[in-house]
Amino acid sequence: MRNTFVKLAASVAAAGVLGLATPNALGADYKVDEAHSFVEFRILHLGYSWLYGRFNTISGEFSHDPAKPEASSIQVSIDPASVDTNHAERDKHIRNADFLDVGQYAKASFKSTQYTGTAEAGTLEGELTMHGVTKPITIAVTKLGEGKDPWGGYRAGFVGTVKLDRRDFGIEYNLGPKSWEMEIELGIEGIRRN
């Protein structure tokens, strides 16, 4: 889960996507829409099957200018205690000291440092802090779309992926040799601030 819960970064991936926008859009600041954003992960359980999960509480903001995608930035916070694998006892175990230790590390975050690419796709670099450890990560991001919503607002959405080794973040509970790496997918939808 070393890189596993990097999902936190959440979205960290979203941030990367933030730099990608259509040529007709204006540079702007966005608030992450918590109801339409996600950080999901999967990890091999004992090497036999995939275990899927997500973090239900995510917040943040980002800036992006379609004319200058390299100037895009994002900050995302995730509540590790909101982990949800659709199994209450397993979630309780993931929250304890064997994995996320949410009593001691109540917050995970991602802050971008650089975006490289076009308005449609690229890579987002930044720092992920999880389980008390801060490490640089690189997220592959793709813009999903942007435009007006039915309520008079304007939205932009991105998706990103990253693989992490949970040992890099001090999460070393052994689930088998194929279970150190976690795959994370981040989806970020933002509402443009007026």
8 Å CB contact between 76 and 8:
yes
Q: How far apart are CA 183 and CA 194, in angstroms?
A: 35
| pLDDT for the residue 57 | 97
Q: How far apart are CA 100 and CA 8, in angstroms?
A: 12
pLDDT exceeds 90 at position 7: no
pTM of the complete model beyond 0.85:
no
Q: How far apart are CA 185 and CA 18, in angstroms?
A: 15
Q: Where are the domains of the chain?
A: 4-192
Overall average pLDDT of the 133-147 stretch: 96
Percentage of residues in the chain having pLDDT higher than 90: 78
Cβ atoms within 10 Å, residue 13? 33
**What are the pLDDT digits (tens) for 35-45?**
999 999 999 99
Q: How far apart are CA 68 and CA 194, in angstroms?
A: 20
8 Å CB contact between 121 and 133:
no
SS3 91: helix
pLDDT averaged over the chain? 88
In CATH terms, the superfamily for domain 4-192 is Lipid/polyisoprenoid-binding, YceI-like (2.40.128.110)
